[in-house]
Amino acid sequence: MGTPFCTSALLKEVMADYYARGVQAKERGIPVVWVTAVFPVEIVYAAGLFPYYPENFGALAAARKTTEKLSATAEARGYYADLCGYARCGLGDAHSKEHPVGEITRPDLVFCCNTQCGTLQKWFEVAGRFYQVPYFLLDVPFIEGASTTLIKRYLVEQMHELIDFIEVYTGRQFDFDRLTEVLSLANEACRLWNEILDTAALRPAPFGFFDACFHMAPIVTLRGTEAAVAYYRELKRELEERLEKKIYALPDERWKIYWDHIPVWPRLRWFADLFAQNGALVAVSQYTHSWVYHFDLERPLESLAENYAEAFVNRGFDYRVERKIGLMRRYKVDGFVLFSNRSCKPTSFGLYDKRSIIARRTGLPGIVFEADMADQRYFAEEQIREKFRIFFEQLTNR
Amino acid sequence: MERPGPQPKKEMQAINVTEALGEFQQIARDPAAAVKKAASEKIVRVIGHLPTDVPEELVHSAGAYPFGVVAYDRRQISQADAHLQTWACSLMRCAFGMALSGGLDYLQGLIVPTICDTTRTVYTIWKKVRPFHFMENFLMPRQLDRPSAKNYLLGEMGRLKARLEQFTGRKITAQDLGNSIRLYNRHRALLRRLFEFHVRHPEILGNRATYDVIKSSFLIPKENHQELLNRLINALEQELLKLKTGREKTRVRVILSGKLWEPPALMDVLDEVGAVCVGDELCTGWRYIANDVKENGDPYVALAERQLARPPFACFVNKKQDRKDALLKKVRETQADGVIFVHLKFCEPENYDYPYLKEGLDAAGVPTLRLETEVGNVSLGQIKTRVGAFIEMLEGAK
């Protein structure tokens, strides 16, 4: 993380504005809806409701190193440390009188899509009961190979159930024209976001994974709004300017690395420094590439169903291997790091075999390391440092 | 309860309870032997499934023998370590480990119900590194209360039927399926009768014996099991006639909450301390036998309706069936003195429900105990001490 981005100040404004609208929503009686990261939030925006992302709260609490404190409250209630770190942050905050990162915004409705995992399904179910508000589960069957008509039909039927549910709750008819506008804005934001991510493929690159983790907040939360589009236009403009001025993410980029999955939030800086010291730019991750939606405005519900159900988080072994290798090739990386994250079984189970398959097929050095995205109690610093030392040695000796 | 006799095994009239039970214990102890015997008796295709959400009736109607893969060879757990993190539940690690070491080679196929993140993910690794000729997911809906769930489940049943037909080369007719449904219904009715007998006469039919009979029913063909079961019930009723009533002191009545009764010795401990398990929520217990399939109308609709109406389970969202209410109702109906939570370490869905269930039971004045157990790695001494103290406390309160 080299020269700070001017856009960072704008990001703070954009996100402050988003959170302020959450507070206003409460005051004005606009329902606050909890949603999961891979949920068709476009429907929530089109219905004029305010979407709130508890996973962002988890990431924030983790980055501020408060997981252990919040988790202690959750653990005292019987939610044990083997549960997802984000969920423990959220549940811990719900049961706490103290709020070290501000109180999680209380929901009026809880919407969950289980395409990412079954943990969210349970966490959100618990939250619905805790806050005594209705819970709606958008259920996505696992897609092992190709999707099927059966799954698509199930999803579209549930989209209708979701819209009926919102109509009954708000007493207003759902506006499909508005949905088309929202989808169009989401398309534009996704397009810009991917163009931004792609600049990491340049050698040297002006932007990398750790920058993306910082600048991703609007694509997650404000996808489908003007604000996200405006923000990524500005960021892209700044990146172009930086390229002209030859300002790069690393002053001496020697290698590009593929990082699988999410950051270790409380160690974001630790890892950024570790890679920078070794002249390695983490250029790409499937995580930041999650927001690659493209909606067909002619068939909005079908298209939403396809985009969300067929996201990589809901796909089988081979698809995930191809996705990783595809990104590695596109960004011409020199090595890869796979993060076995205790908080996330779906992305972690299978990595041992994936590592050897990917290494065999690409010839690249690669490692799997164990930690937790939120909870530092599972961070064995010396072992991890040693693992990475060997990894960088392999890169040097290639 | 024991009355050793030299009577020949085959004569139904003469068999005693110990002998009749011995057959079931033998099966539970060495399931592979039963499969091999069945294979030699011309039942060619043995299709494994992870208990107990796969519609066995459908597998049976395809002319195959559905075999429930339970964790019986605990030594094989570490076989999975090269492919799977040790923070996956020991149940899945054991099943997968048994397959990796060749211990499940007698199966021609495997069906994995996708109920949680671990089943969803491990299925894909398993298929990659040690595939069976026939390997399928059963992708159930995980929201069960909206109309879309039933439509989708019907489609998924149809998909599984087509795959089974393709594999066995045999068409499943409505008549075949109807016959299988009737067989399974009769069998469940017998098991329920047995369970009621156990609750009334734990001095004749203890906890371990009862649950071994239920477990053994996943392991051998239902036709054979039913024969053994008829013999056992017969022996039990004869035994009852001989018994002088009124001597037996009132036992402490407990309910088990969780997914399965691991380790099996837990049931022996309950027998030793003189407690009777009068009900449970377990997939390998009452939930397996609780409800039947309607025998008139479309058999696929009937199968789907049974699945949707099964007793609550942590992995499914069903607003029509609140798990806490169901558990409290069971406590009242069975006049249970306390509830023991039996949680497999790393089982997230059960942990998310735990504080809710415990609060409900606390509020109703029902004492609870939580045991965290693992397949193959468990301190029996600690279980004995804790269960013993709990039962003693309940006894004192009676």
Closest CB to A350 among B124, B151, B351: B124
pLDDT in tens, A275-322: 999 999 999 999 999 999 999 999 999 999 999 999 999 999 999 999
Are A83 and B156 an interchain contact pair (Cβ–Cβ within 8 Å)?
no
- Whether the per-residue pLDDT at B13 is higher than 80: the answer is no
pLDDT in tens, B124-162: 999 999 999 999 999 999 999 999 999 999 999 999 999
> What tokens appear for A169 in the block?
């709750």
pLDDT in tens, B47-93: 999 989 999 999 999 999 999 998 888 888 999 999 999 999 999 99
- Please check whether residue B321 touches A, CB under 8 A: no
Q: How far apart are CA B253 and CA B395, in angstroms?
A: 9
pLDDT in tens, B91-128: 999 999 999 999 999 899 999 999 999 999 999 999 99
- Whether the per-residue pLDDT at B12 is higher than 60: the answer is no
Q: Output the pLDDT for position A398.
A: 84
Are A349 and B156 an interchain contact pair (Cβ–Cβ within 8 Å)?
no
Q: Are B311 and B326 in contact (CB under 8 A)?
A: yes
How much is the average pLDDT of A163-190?
Answer: 98
Q: Are A196 and A317 in contact (CB under 8 A)?
A: no
What are the residue boundaries of the structural domains of chain A, listed by start? 1-398
Burial pattern A284-306, b for ≥16 Cβ within 10 A else e, equals bbbbbbbbbbebeeeebbbbbbb
ipTM confidence: 0.96
Q: How far apart are CA A351 and CA A338, in angstroms?
A: 7
Read off the pLDDT band of A326 (50, 70, 90).
Answer: very high
pLDDT in tens, A337-372: 999 999 999 999 999 999 999 999 999 999 999 999
Average pLDDT, chain A: 96
How much is the average pLDDT of A242-248?
Answer: 96
Average pLDDT, chain B: 92
Closest CB to A82 among B142, B143, B346: B346
Q: Output the pLDDT for position A17.
A: 96
With CA atoms as reference, the chain B residue closest to A140 would be B141
Phi, psi at B237, each rounded to 5°:
-70, -35
Q: Are A289 and A197 in contact (CB under 8 A)?
A: yes
pLDDT in tens, A63-82: 999 999 999 999 999 999 99
Pick from A95, A116, A122 the residue to mutate for testing the B interface (most B CBs within 10 Å): A122
Q: How far apart are CA B60 and CA B168, in angstroms?
A: 11
pLDDT in tens, A52-61: 999 999 999 9
Sheet holding B109-113, edge to edge: B65-68, B46-49, B109-113, B134-138
Q: Which range, of A150-159, B111-120, B237-246, B387-396, averages the lowest pLDDT?
A: B237-246
From the candidate CATH numbers 3.30.565.10, 3.40.50.11900, 3.40.50.300, 3.30.70.2190, the one assigned to the domain spanning A1-398: 3.40.50.11900
Burial pattern B304-313, b for ≥16 Cβ within 10 A else e, equals bbbbbebbbb
How much is the average pLDDT of B28-46?
Answer: 77
How much is the average pLDDT of B7-14?
Answer: 48
Which residues in chain B are contacts of A360 at CB distance < 8 A? Answer: none
What is the DSSP track for A24-45? HHHHHTPPEEE--TTS-HHHHH
Which residues in chain A are contacts of B117 at CB distance < 8 A? Answer: 117-119, 345-346, 349
- Whether the per-residue pLDDT at B372 is higher than 80: the answer is yes
